[in-house]
Structure 1
């Protein structure tokens, strides 16, 4: 309960608070009214459904169809959404920085022959903005609008730049429009690999049609699908190409087709150009330069398509690990969010689960260079690793059998009843071993400071 002597102060505080909010609301409203009064066109972005940009004899036309913008002149194609949205936003908010009044002579301002004219249609009404020379000091541009063609205005330089877009900037730069989660199949073609069809079976799981026993690196196929989806046009080279051979597109050096429920999206790949390569949609259209060398990317993916990993399991399934030389093994058991590790001399270490997973991730990165036979293998392995699940079921076993002179390590792995023997690169193998050794080392504390004189 508030003491009676404080009630007058409370009333004064509430009155001042109300006055403050009232003044703030009024000031905000006045500023909004001033901003609205400065607007040249009382339109909203979503109301505009047609655009025309004119620079002398050059004319670019765009139209909105079923919610999407398309170029209709000088060619018919999808428009770049971000660029068109920027133009629409500018038209809906373009303001007069200054009002210079009427002028009978527009020539000194560059408005007798405007450098840029922007026409648009909103609510079945056509509007026009003409932009001329820059003002002294380049602080703005002279302009007028269609309803007052002799009334001089000044607009900001940023507004002019937003409207003054070259025709190529207005073109859609996407090469593929598919949704990542709806891709069902990927058809790849190169001169070296021929035709390859990969069907998606599930997350990171793909099948090579016609070679069903071939182990496919699903993660690499998924990465290719993502990169293709993000690839963009870097430059438009020829709108109506007469000779496709000069671009390596007749016949094409490669081809990519992404299949969803709809018609496949097909892209022909040609010669390398700059940092990217020449390409053209199979349905026709301009020859473009891509921002990445997609042919090289497809070739690399196909060359590395075989799954040669020593272990293809999931880190989350591992609940027990045994590793090290056979006579000095460490044993790790997962307990909630950490691992309890016991050494060969019964010493104990606790490690966060995420740190143990680093060792498993590096194990997943190890790949066979080529198969080999375990000739003259030692009586016992030089190093071993065993992975078990929560029920004690063996998931994976690795045995190091020897080290070759050519910087390769001979290993044998066992998953279920299947054994494989092969060579792995020494560098990546030793990096993984070092990570496993670090897991068995107690965390290092801060270095001790210098001893005092008293000590």
Structure 2
């Protein structure tokens, strides 16, 4: 075959390929999209809708309007709407497609419950408005008969369409109780009967109790409870309620929670439990109100019991050190004569400066030790002007250079070693212990076997002193100056294991 024929065939092949793409693939894809667009019953785009009306079977008329980009409930009560719930209703209507067209024209609407439909919905945008009307269910109860505006056709739509539109006023209203962002709150005040506490945020992850005394609080619990309050949703809302009604318990509420920031303040009043037989007011749903609003909310505060009741045993931060393990740049530790110096590299991995000659380092072992130190909590604490003997000769010393801090955080942990028996007592004890007669074979073998060399393969490993259940610790620098802590000694065993895993690769 000549090269000219080959070129001609290639040109024909390319032309066929182009035709196949543009006419068979692209054209058919566009045709399918056009058909889907044509099958839509509603001619208004989802984003263009700014008005929704729903007339329910019970006669309730719900009106919603988009004002400055936000949906508002206009009737039967005027209030903010649940944005996602309304957007779901709008999407259901604008994307509506019938299962079938049952009749093209000359429909006896009364036969299908559409002469006087009891349920209807409409959407509007500027000068355009579309209505859809729902009639009876089909014999299988899986679909509804439906008509649209003055369209002469009878449609059959899935029952899920009506179910998605058949929302209550409560479903479509904003159920948010407190309009506040957690990041904007820097002060929390709680009054529970005659007990009052005040909490202040000193840093994004640092909360302190300022009244009735001063102490650190657990940042993770405070942030969690603050998020719970900020995102508190009502289970029910009673509009234009009489706040002095005795059943609400809001005329003189026993509990008040204040969330304040530089530019705002919100006060939540907690009243009586909805169920009068509740063992504790916060064990069930309670009535609540917000300062400046006349609505009564039914809310669930079970997850906030520790905060509302000011349970300092739960809220108090008992950690010895406050640092994020990922912020530690250098880590020095000595435990019972074994020393470790680790530096974090640019790739967030650890390298050892001491000891030398470690074949490979699993960074997780370093991270595990850091988390053990980070999670340390005291059992008791006391001030001491003098350094305790256990700290003067510590068994563990850890130094952490933390990003953003001028000086390293140093932890010292010690405990009193158990008294060892004196030489005379040891000899006497050995003499008093009766010797077991050795078998003849073992005796003969012992005469010929070489004695083990100290420190060699046959010698016993050095005994590791077990840490007691409670050990003594001090931290410098610390907000609690000269404070001596008693902590659980079980962490020593875990740290020792991680340290041994690192050193065994030497």
The normalised TM-score by structure 2 is: 0.73
Relative to 1, partners in 2 of residues 1:421 and 1:82: Cα closer, same or farther, differing over 3 Å?
Answer: same
How big is each residue's C-alpha offset from its partner over 1:349-383, in whole Å with a ceiling of 9 and x where there is no partner? 75333431232223222222322478985596573
Q: Does structure 2 conserve the Cα–Cα contact (< 8 Å) formed by 1:221 and 1:301?
A: no
Q: How far did residue 251 of structure 1 move?
A: 3.1
1:114 equivalent among 94, 98, 117:
117
Q: Distance in 2 between matches of 1:431 and 1:142?
A: 70
Which residue number corresponds to residue 366 of structure 2?
Answer: 356
Q: How far did residue 443 of structure 1 move?
A: 9.6
Alignment of 1:23-422 (within 5 A): 23-55=24-56, 56-99=58-101, 100-103=103-106, 105-148=108-151, 151-191=153-193, 193-198=195-200, 200-206=201-207, 208=209, 214-233=215-234, 235-236=235-236, 238-242=238-242, 245-260=246-261, 262-270=263-271, 271=273, 272=281, 277-290=286-299, 292-299=301-308, 303=312, 304-315=314-325, 316-325=327-336, 328-334=337-343, 336=345, 337-340=349-352, 348=358, 350-372=360-382, 383-389=395-401, 394-401=408-415, 409-416=470-477, 418-422=481-485
Q: Distance in 1 between matches of 2:87 and 2:199?
A: 38
How big is each residue's C-alpha offset from its partner over 1:397-436, in whole Å with a ceiling of 9 and x where there is no partner? 2223369xxx962422130384321333x3xx51464144
Q: Distance in 2 between matches of 1:43 and 1:376?
A: 79
How big is each residue's C-alpha offset from its partner over 1:98-124, in whole Å with a ceiling of 9 and x where there is no partner? 222335533332223424211333213
Q: Does structure 2 conserve the Cα–Cα contact (< 8 Å) formed by 1:277 and 1:293?
A: no
Q: Which moved more, 1:210-219 or 1:27-36?
A: 210-219
Relative to 1, partners in 2 of residues 1:6 and 1:259: Cα closer, same or farther, differing over 3 Å?
Answer: farther
Q: How far did residue 163 of structure 1 move?
A: 1.5
Q: Secondary structure at the match of 1:331?
A: strand
- Larger strand fraction of residues: 1
Q: How far did residue 309 of structure 1 move?
A: 1.7
Q: Distance in 2 between matches of 1:369 and 1:244?
A: 47
Q: Does structure 2 conserve the Cα–Cα contact (< 8 Å) formed by 1:51 and 1:61?
A: yes
The normalised TM-score by structure 1 is: 0.80
Q: Secondary structure at the match of 1:440?
A: helix
Q: Does structure 1 conserve the Cα–Cα contact (< 8 Å) formed by 2:197 and 2:209?
A: no
Relative to 1, partners in 2 of residues 1:432 and 1:6: Cα closer, same or farther, differing over 3 Å?
Answer: farther
Relative to 1, partners in 2 of residues 1:386 and 1:152: Cα closer, same or farther, differing over 3 Å?
Answer: same
Q: Please say which structure displays the higher CA radius of gyration.
A: 2
How big is each residue's C-alpha offset from its partner over 1:64-84, in whole Å with a ceiling of 9 and x where there is no partner? 222111212222221111110
Relative to 1, partners in 2 of residues 1:37 and 1:314: Cα closer, same or farther, differing over 3 Å?
Answer: closer
User: What do you get for the CA RMSD once the two structures are aligned?
Assistant: 3.7
Q: Secondary structure at the match of 2:25?
A: helix
Q: Distance in 2 between matches of 1:302 and 1:387?
A: 33
Q: Which runs of 5+ in 1 are unaligned?
A: 446-455
Q: How far did residue 181 of structure 1 move?
A: 3.8
Q: Does structure 2 conserve the Cα–Cα contact (< 8 Å) formed by 1:371 and 1:422?
A: yes
Which residue number corresponds to residue 438 of structure 1?
Answer: 498
Q: Distance in 2 between matches of 1:144 and 1:367?
A: 68
Q: Distance in 2 between matches of 1:369 and 1:246?
A: 44
Q: Distance in 2 between matches of 1:351 and 1:97?
A: 64
Q: Which runs of 5+ in 2 are unaligned?
A: 274-280, 418-467
Q: Distance in 2 between matches of 1:61 and 1:444?
A: 73
Q: Distance in 2 between matches of 1:392 and 1:186?
A: 31
Q: Does structure 2 conserve the Cα–Cα contact (< 8 Å) formed by 1:239 and 1:285?
A: yes
Q: Which moved more, 1:201-210 or 1:33-42?
A: 201-210
Q: How far did residue 392 of structure 1 move?
A: 12
The alignment covers a number of residue pairs equal to 430
How big is each residue's C-alpha offset from its partner over 1:4-49, in whole Å with a ceiling of 9 and x where there is no partner? 6653343234223322222222222222222222222210123222
Q: Which moved more, 1:387-396 or 1:287-296?
A: 387-396
Q: Distance in 2 between matches of 1:143 and 1:229?
A: 42
